[in-house]
Amino acid sequence: MATTGSSPGQKVWTSGAANADWAILLARTEPGSWRHAGISYFVVDMRSPGVEVRPIVQINRNAHFNEVHLDEVRIPGDQVIGELDQGWSVARTTLSAERVMIGSISVLDRVLNLIEAARQAGHTDDPVIRQGLASALHPGLDHGVPRRSGAGHGPPRGPTGAEASVMKLALSTFMAELGDLSIAALGNRRPARR
């Protein structure tokens, strides 16, 4: 069995697509279905004919994100994950696992690198900068510690609930604050108040 798409598809802001061997594709496989029904979850070989990846170069010259274009890509039937037309539940599990993974990333190395860079720049004598670095160090040490049973030790063994979303939000907030602190510690202005 193989499925084909007769019209081109596109996904923008796809993380790591230029280096990926496989991608996830959610497609409506039951015509006339609505909302979350009739969606199937596929894995797509990124070397398949018709798959084109265009890196998006950001202001820092990195290209972590990409546009992925699909034109007449054929996906073998054995690349369906779960049951046909029941892919939304698989997608929810995937998103929960992603949030757990993102929320349990350790940032200690980034904080320690920032402290060393601020020290070399001669900005650790400023009491506001020093306090900001000390405050960042505590969450940095704590942030990589799993918040729930099983987090960080393989795939989730059940529904992750809101904890995963809270962990991801906490990391995103911390990284924004760390960015502000980095500008202040390596430049000549004080950290922004949030």
3-state secondary structure (DSSP) of residue 88: helix
Handedness of CA 34, 11, 174, 177 (dihedral sign): negative
d(CA 180, CA 41): 39
Dihedral in degrees, nearest 10, Cα atoms 22, 24, 25, 30: 120
Q: Are 68 and 53 in contact (CB under 8 A)?
A: yes
The question of whether 98 is a catalytic residue gets the answer yes
**Tokens 């924004």 map to which residue?**
176
- DSSP state, residue 34: -
Classify residue 126 as left (phi > 0), alpha (psi -120 to 50) or beta: beta
Active-site residue identified among 30, 72, 83, 98? 98
Task: State the CB neighbour count (10 A cutoff) for residue 152.
Answer: 15
Task: Measure the CA–CA gap between 132 and 128, rounded to whole angstroms.
Answer: 6
Report, as residue numbers or ranges, the catalytic residues. 98
